[in-house]
Copies of this chain bind each other. A is one copy, B any other.
Amino acid sequence: MRIAVIGAGYWGPNLIRNLYETRACSEIICCDLDSRKLQKIKDRYPGIQTESQYKKILDRKDVDAVVIATPVSTHFPLGKEILESGKHVFIEKPMTASPEEASELLRLSEKVKRVLMVGHTFEYSPPVIKIKELIDKGELGKIYYISASRVNLGLHQKDVSVIWDLAPHDFSTLFFWLKEQPARVSAIGKACVQKKIPDVAFINLEFPSGCIAHVQVSWLAPSKLRRTAIVGSKKMLVYDDTENIEKVKIYDKGVNYVDPESFGQYQLSYRTGDVVSPRLETYEPLFMEMKHFIECCRENKKPRTDGQSGLRVVRTLDAAERSMRNNSVVVEIPA
């Protein structure tokens, strides 16, 4: 496997480090317009090739796959060229800047029969996978609602709102757990620091199953929150990613109907049992993600976070952004 990485800015070096550690690439080529960034990579990994013009990579027949870690607006044109050159492609989240672009890329990947994978990293993280298992086994019962917060001070983006920057993490995670995408979305937001670039947003989601969800995201908050509460008919769960150890806690809690003894109203009784924090694996999600991408390329199989997954996240981001820009009007998402 020969893999190129385009973009050596903030995130690219993390992808390169993990690609390197898989020991599965005979060669890694790093591509960026900024020669200082390339030099940094060289200093750190003397064995890695560098290249300033990505077109050259497209021409190389011996390069099997390309990883894109550039600004969102470039995801679509780059992805398109890469797929058309017959290479597999991994694109950082969000997959594209619009649902139309996402659909086109998905169609193209199917046509050229190449892997299109999107960097929904959380779907490879131990707590998210553990929760997926619990939900799939029915441990929580029917999911009533989910409430998620992802807020902290920094890093303001200059090209996209906080919705496009932070919400992909929560959206991809929610859709992964629930196996559905929302039917209706509304959002309120505010551009506090930079004009016209909202840095706080409160997003409400309704799913076809009846489950509802709330996601709040912000670059401007007093303390870091990475907390998701899931309320099911049997049990409840809190996933707090700021905790070092007990990231997932399962609460054996619920409400039961108590039949009225004689006449009179029914009663509700509250059940409270043990709290269990399950042991979690300790691997790095990004490593698993890169390993999975390489496997999918080798076997030309559909990745867990495929183009379809990327599309539904982009559709929901687009709907939330439109609601926020349009007085919180409810936006329907076609199934």
A residues contacting B by CB (< 8 A) are 46, 144-145, 147, 151, 153-154, 156, 158, 184, 186, 188-190, 192-194, 200, 202, 204, 206, 210, 212, 214, 216, 218, 220-224, 229, 231, 233, 236-238, 242, 244-246, 249, 251-253, 255, 265, 268, 270, 272-279, 327-330
Shortest Cβ-Cβ A-B pairs, 6 listed: A222-B236, A275-B277, A222-B251, A144-B192, A188-B204, A202-B214
Q: How far is the CB of A227 from chain B (nearest CB, A)?
A: 9
Contact between chains at B231 and A214 (CB < 8 Å): no
Further contacts, 5 of them, CB under 8 A, given A153-B270, A245-B275, A329-B330: A144-B200, A184-B327, A192-B231, A221-B236, A272-B279
In the complex, the answer to whether B274 meets A251 with C-beta atoms within 8 Å is no
CA of A144 to CA of B229, assembled, Å: 25
| Contacting residues, chain B, for A238 (C-beta < 8 A) | 222-223
Which residue of B has the minimal Cβ distance to A230?
B222
Name which residue of chain B comes closest to A256, CB basis: B193
With A238-B222, A278-B274, A279-B274 as contacts: A210 and B190 at CB distance below 8 Å: yes
B residues within 8 A CB of A221? 229, 231, 236
Instruction: Find out whether the CB atom of B251 lies under 8 angstroms from the CB atom of A223.
Output: yes
Task: From known contacts A222-B236, A268-B156, A276-B274, infer whether A190 and B202 are also in contact, taking CB-CB under 8 Å.
Answer: no
Task: Point out the residues of chain B lying under 8 angstroms from A275, CB to CB.
Answer: 245-246, 276-277
Does B245 contact A223, Cβ atoms closer than 8 Å?
A: yes
Note all chain B residues with C-beta closer than 8 A to A216: 147, 214
